[in-house]
Structure 1
């Protein structure tokens, strides 16, 4: 296979925006959460499950979906994702008072999200030339914060006035527009999706086993990181309302700023990697910063020191995931045929952490009677993550 020397810019953009749409579907809920809890009486555990169900579905199906995408390409599964997205959003709009049906709607959305998470990443990465790939990965990494920004911008104008349904109507409209764009790309053959060559799926060489081991460790690392980040972002608006004493509308405004800063540094990390920064330096150092900030939360307050610490956390949270999403290429040697499989490991880890994060916070706050326990808890988790990151990146660097 000859490596491409020119990037497919439309393919990169389509993959990135596909991811942003998936992230918007996930994060349209948190800005509306205080309003929904007040209006429909959901418990914290149930409300946390509305976020975690996405990750549960991803945890169950991601490896299988990765194999399907690697074998058959993206278009059929993306069609399934569209159908489930429309159904899930419609159920929520019609039956918001039923916690069970609300959870069922989020379940269907979660299946779509699991498909999009792998397909978007592979499309964006494989559409880039080798030189441009770090930048394409960095752009892809903005999928989460940009989905948060989009949901927050819409929520700012409506949540304060007691409305939440427009967030779901926008999700439906955006899904249809992306589907039409995908049909146009498919009709002109404007996308090359890497698939596994026949006969190679059962390869059991020592190199393949080493790759599987390192991808598994990378998935565990991503699980620890996403547990604290997704948990934090899922409950931030509710935390601001309960602990900060602000209104849901004001919380939606505050919720807008961290993901903007995160997205900026997602992209900067791509340029750092292209300039020669090692994954070990990028990932380990930023995780250490996040661990320190979590440890300091109970004592730093909400003044200037607290704001600076939150800024440092947002910067580190922007740099870390670009490094984590670059791990499949570092481990698999940028082999396009392994792309879907490698990203499936990473996304399985992400889903594991994202499943646990919102529920862990909900249970910790309930058991300990307040939010102060969250900082030390996630500080300890990120300390473990820093040690694991050092081990993994050292193994990759040594090629052992």
Structure 2
């Protein structure tokens, strides 16, 4: 891949790719700010409501490992376009056929987009930017999920009405329109550098790449993190409505502060990881991050009304810590450099598994209350802490040489997407 790269064109491709990913994140997270209306309009409880966020993770679970090879075979532009079109199809299904059964099917289809775009855009960035110059674009890319969440948590209020449950479909139509625009821009502006040939990439064995215990421990850690993150972010608006007595509009507004905190977390962790470069130090940073994540559910679901703003911001910052540390540790966990992509695929598998937490937490909230949900989330966090500690046994290599090779890129990789 020795093609000459244009930094200007590369930035255009990168920003359009990130914009498309943000639109897909908006589509993925349109359920939490409309959850109250969905439950009332469709006659469902928190358990079924939680499945609307859990079902897309099933798709991600299926695609986590093969997504990298699909991108290698067809190229990131084709995979990215397919991702956006999948989101459009799913969103249209939900808007035209608003029943819980068809809505669940549509969410499965939408899960294709979320799984694939998370591979396609980093691949595009890698095409256009050499490792030593990819720090900033990767850092910007890392914020695609919280930016999308913030946009839909705040923007949904302009399209729904608390006294008209059926207005949740307005958000589906909004998402569809944004995705169509993203698809057009992606088709026009996204391209590979001149002379780039996907077939030049080395062929690797996925099975061989999965023979690293550290890789699987990172997947467990990310699964436990994702379980907590999805549960807290999905049910924060519902908690604000049911326990704090806020209106749906205020609940969505306060919950959006979680995503503001997550963006702050990206800003905070990038310079931290630029300084903390030794493997052992990063592993301890991961342990501390997972402990804080384990405790955050206690804070997020025990909010004094007067402290809602501060608690939501702190929650968001904490929920950004684990992924910020996991991604730069990932390459060291790989069997060999050529299997770094496989390692990231296994970590993505953990993220998808963690997404199943929504359904179980929704059931617990419905049957046993918020206290039971908190206990389960803390227990999940403890498992994550144990997995973090286990990494010390399997990761003893000194990454100092690798760390000093590209200090700029680590800041970008550190906060790479969840």
Q: Is the 8 A contact 2:254 2:309 kept in 1?
A: no
Q: Is the 8 A contact 2:227 2:354 kept in 1?
A: yes
Q: Is the 8 A contact 2:60 2:112 kept in 1?
A: yes
Q: Which stretch shifts more, 287-296 or 188-197?
A: 188-197
- In 1, the alpha carbon distance for the partners of 2:124 and 2:197 equals 6
Q: Is the 8 A contact 1:291 1:382 kept in 2?
A: yes
Q: Which stretch shifts more, 168-177 or 122-131?
A: 122-131
Give the secondary structure class of the aligned counterpart of 1:377: helix
- Per the alignment, residue 376 of structure 2 pairs with 377
- In 2, the alpha carbon distance for the partners of 1:202 and 1:247 equals 49
Q: Is structure 2 residue 91 aligned with structure 1 residue 92?
A: no
Per-residue deviation at 1:184?
A: 2.7
- In 2, the alpha carbon distance for the partners of 1:189 and 1:4 equals 7
Residues 91-122 of structure 1, C-alpha deviation per residue, up to 9 Å, x if partnerless? 111111x1111111111111222111222233
Q: Is the 8 A contact 1:196 1:338 kept in 2?
A: no
Q: Is the 8 A contact 2:16 2:189 kept in 1?
A: no
Per-residue deviation at 1:252?
A: 1.3
Equivalent runs, 1:340-351 vs 2, <5 Å: 340-351=341-352
- Per the alignment, residue 184 of structure 2 pairs with 180
Q: How many residues align?
A: 391
Residues 202-234 of structure 1, C-alpha deviation per residue, up to 9 Å, x if partnerless? 784xxx465x43222211111000001011111
- In 1, the alpha carbon distance for the partners of 2:299 and 2:151 equals 30
- Per the alignment, residue 317 of structure 1 pairs with 319
Give the secondary structure class of the aligned counterpart of 1:63: coil
Per-residue deviation at 1:268?
A: 2.6
Residues 279-327 of structure 1, C-alpha deviation per residue, up to 9 Å, x if partnerless? 32432222212223335667x6515677655543322212222222333
Equivalent runs, 1:94-113 vs 2, <5 Å: 94-96=96-98, 98-113=99-114
Q: Which runs of 5+ in 1 are unaligned?
A: none
Q: Which stretch shifts more, 221-230 or 86-95?
A: 86-95
TM-score, normalization: structure 1?
0.85
Give the secondary structure class of the aligned counterpart of 1:42: coil
- Per the alignment, residue 122 of structure 1 pairs with 123
Equivalent runs, 1:347-362 vs 2, <5 Å: 347-354=348-355, 356-362=356-362
Equivalent runs, 1:11-90 vs 2, <5 Å: 11-90=13-92
- Per the alignment, residue 141 of structure 1 pairs with 142
Per-residue deviation at 1:185?
A: 3.4
- Per the alignment, residue 365 of structure 2 pairs with 365
- In 2, the alpha carbon distance for the partners of 1:92 and 1:256 equals 23
- Per the alignment, residue 9 of structure 1 pairs with 11
Q: Is the 8 A contact 1:262 1:317 kept in 2?
A: yes
Per-residue deviation at 1:57?
A: 0.9
Equivalent runs, 1:297-316 vs 2, <5 Å: 301-302=303-304, 308=310, 310-316=312-318
- In 2, the alpha carbon distance for the partners of 1:4 and 1:326 equals 27
